[in-house]
A and B are shown apart, each in its own frame.
Chain A
């Protein structure tokens, strides 16, 4: 792995650790959401249906929001331009962000996972490492999505405005609350293009049906394709000479 990528990842981790409130947000908000879901859904079968989907949704949400805002700040405070004046490649920057962020994202996934499985008694028949690998795939897409959209926001408030535009529709259409197959045709058609649909589908299969990553090969490939595509889009926004 390129050395600069690790240096940048290390910096991101140091920055996040020093930002107590964000760490709190990463750990406690998901627990609150998981608790609300656990308490408000008395039906065990429905809880089993929704809980895995929350894992996938939260990593998309936080991945997008945290990297979006971090990159926005880097752009407006000039640190991105300063870094581009140094001998680093765009891959170093995106890669550094991915490693730095995914570390926290996986930690978050594990916290929610243990909370759901052991305290809320959500059914679980898969293997944890496979869930983590799958979450990484969703996370890569989320980080790159945030990087890409940060170009189009002038401030933090504008970045927040992307949430109802980009994240919320995915939450409603991904099958978190209601199976996609029972939605009207045109919504099913739209859902087919949203990465979270595959994320939720895949993680549900991993958790509930005791299947492995090979069994959900279709979801894995589609999410990997999204990750690669978004990675390229994100890298394109990190060129020298674009931040006039």
Chain B
């Protein structure tokens, strides 16, 4: 069995009176891609922000690579927020270079090389001197991904990374994510699309801040009892089942 990259135990987080994460426990193996799926407001972003250390849990425990998610652990972590958080006045290159420096790529030559490499990876080489404010939504999303992976962290959190990407780029991103897990990185991806889900090695379906199902895509599809069930069917199946249980309770 693989090493564990992340352990979450009985995690609770409230926004005022709203319980956004409700007694949630998870274990994520190192070197795998783990998908967080769930409807709007199910707590995906909140869970990621907790695991990155941006929110403090009301109770429960998080361990990322054996340590609590504190700033001292931040160098090992890549984070792509749901909405691109970029400096609009700066160019693509300046944004990615800024994060490269912040994450400790000191050597100027190596940094420039790495920044170029990442810009090519997100397919923005022709736009590298363009101010971010002049990019399309999908392009901003790609810059944001570039900033998250610039320092080649062992642990990467991607909050809906494929939203707004065209199919070709999405396929390219997944190729890249797979190459990352092969080289030992752990990737946590949140998503709505079943296409993303199918790419993950393991999935958690979230609803109301709880995990309602956990397993590989094949396992989750099989649980619906239909031979040709798609990921979409599996997702709806678990959501329905959750509602039935709630009504019964």
Residues of A whose CB lies within 8 Å of any CB of B are 3-4, 7-8, 11, 14-15, 18-19, 77-79, 81-89, 240-241, 243-244
A89 x B71 contact (CB < 8 A): yes
B87 x A84 contact (CB < 8 A): no
Q: Which residues of B contact A240 (CB under 8 A)?
A: 53-54, 56, 71
A87 x B74 contact (CB < 8 A): yes
A241 and B104 CA atoms in complex are apart in Å by 23
B89 x A19 contact (CB < 8 A): yes
Smallest CB gap from B74: residue in A: A87
Q: What are 5 contact pairs spanning A and B, CB under 8 A? A: A8-B102, A83-B102, A85-B53, A85-B74, A87-B104
- If A18-B131, A87-B75, A87-B102 touch, whether A11 touches B83 (CB-CB below 8 Å) is no
A18 x B90 contact (CB < 8 A): yes
Query: Among the listed stretches B3-11, B24-32, B93-101, B240-248, which one makes contact with chain A, having 4 or more residues with CB under 8 Å of it?
Result: B93-101
A132 and B53 CA atoms in complex are apart in Å by 40
B55 x A4 contact (CB < 8 A): no
Residues 68 to 117 of chain B near chain A (Cβ within 8 Å): 71-72, 74-75, 77, 79, 81, 83, 85-90, 94, 98-99, 101-104, 106
Select one of B53, B85, B103, B106 contacting A82, CB under 8 A: B85
- If A81-B85, A82-B85 touch, whether A87 touches B103 (CB-CB below 8 Å) is yes
Indicate if B52 sits at the interface (CB-CB under 8 A): yes
Q: Which residues of A contact B104 (CB under 8 A)?
A: 87
A189 and B56 CA atoms in complex are apart in Å by 43
Chain A nearest CB, measured from B166 CB (Å): 24
- If A86-B103, A87-B75 touch, whether A11 touches B53 (CB-CB below 8 Å) is no
B90 x A11 contact (CB < 8 A): yes
A85 x B90 contact (CB < 8 A): no
Q: Which residues of A contact B52 (CB under 8 A)?
A: 85
- If A7-B102, A240-B53 touch, whether A14 touches B90 (CB-CB below 8 Å) is yes
Residues of B whose CB lies within 8 Å of any CB of A are 15, 52-56, 71-72, 74-75, 77, 79, 81, 83, 85-90, 94, 98-99, 101-104, 106, 131, 147
A81 and B80 CA atoms in complex are apart in Å by 11
Smallest CB gap from A80: residue in B: B85
B90 x A15 contact (CB < 8 A): yes
**By CB atoms of chain B within 10 A, which of A8, A19, A78, A243 has the most?**
A78
Chain B nearest CB, measured from A92 CB (Å): 9
Select one of B15, B54, B89, B147 contacting A15, CB under 8 A: B89
A81 and B79 CA atoms in complex are apart in Å by 11
A79 x B86 contact (CB < 8 A): yes
Q: Which residues of B contact A244 (CB under 8 A)?
A: 15, 55
A7 x B98 contact (CB < 8 A): yes
Q: Which residues of A contact B86 (CB under 8 A)?
A: 79
Q: Which residues of A contact B72 (CB under 8 A)?
A: 87
Chain B nearest CB, measured from A75 CB (Å): 11
Chain A nearest CB, measured from B57 CB (Å): 9
Q: Which residues of A contact B75 (CB under 8 A)?
A: 87
**By CB atoms of chain B within 10 A, which of A7, A77, A244 has the most?**
A244
A241 x B77 contact (CB < 8 A): no
- If A86-B102, A241-B54, A241-B55 touch, whether A11 touches B74 (CB-CB below 8 Å) is no
A88 x B53 contact (CB < 8 A): no
Chain A nearest CB, measured from B219 CB (Å): 32
Q: In the complex, given contacts A78-B85, A85-B77, what are 12 additional A-B residue pairs having Cβ atoms less than 8 angstroms apart?
A: A3-B101, A3-B106, A7-B98, A8-B102, A11-B87, A18-B90, A82-B81, A85-B53, A85-B54, A86-B102, A240-B54, A244-B55
Chain B nearest CB, measured from A84 CB (Å): 6
A18 x B89 contact (CB < 8 A): yes
A8 and B102 CA atoms in complex are apart in Å by 8
- If A7-B102, A240-B54, A244-B15 touch, whether A86 touches B74 (CB-CB below 8 Å) is yes
Chain B nearest CB, measured from A161 CB (Å): 24
A84 and B131 CA atoms in complex are apart in Å by 23
Give the 6 A-B residue pairs with the shortest CB-CB distance, closest first. Answer: A78-B85, A82-B85, A87-B74, A241-B56, A7-B101, A18-B89
A145 and B82 CA atoms in complex are apart in Å by 31
